[in-house]
Amino acid sequence: MTALARIRMLQRVLRDKYGIVGEVAARYLEAGARVRVMHPTRLGPIHVLVYKDGGRLAIEVFAESKPVPKEVVRNLVEKAKLVQAKPILVLYGDGPKLSDEVYSMCKELGVKIRRVRAR
């Protein structure tokens, strides 16, 4: 099996098993990273833990069609500290909204924000 065929197969498995979280993980896998989905911590699972270029990224996927609560950002930061990773908040689709207050909180705490369009 070629490397690309293996990546495509793993992407399909991630999408089928984990849905939206698997879709985000599949995109990082395609970019050449190693991923762990639903990595357990004492504060709850990290949706996607990415290993790339000697660093770690803790990714929380928010896909609900409502404003992002502050608590989601706080939990993401705490989980990322536990595994010594950089926190990233992924807003999946057009539904999630980010208020000015939550946006400034993300900037203050060092949380990167990414928007992923639904396929």
What pLDDT is recorded for position 59? 97
User: Which string of b and e fits 36-68 if b means at least 16 CB within 10 Å?
Assistant: bbebebeeeebbbbbeeeeebbbbbbbbeeeeb
Closest by Cα among 93, 94, 86, 83 to 112 = 86
For residue 1, is pLDDT > 90? no
> Could you report the per-residue pLDDT of 51-64, keeping only the tens digit for each?
999 999 999 999 99
Just give the CATH number of 35-116.
3.40.1350.60
What pLDDT is recorded for position 7? 92
> Could you report the per-residue pLDDT of 7-54, keeping only the tens digit for each?
999 999 999 999 999 999 999 999 999 999 999 999 999 999 999 999
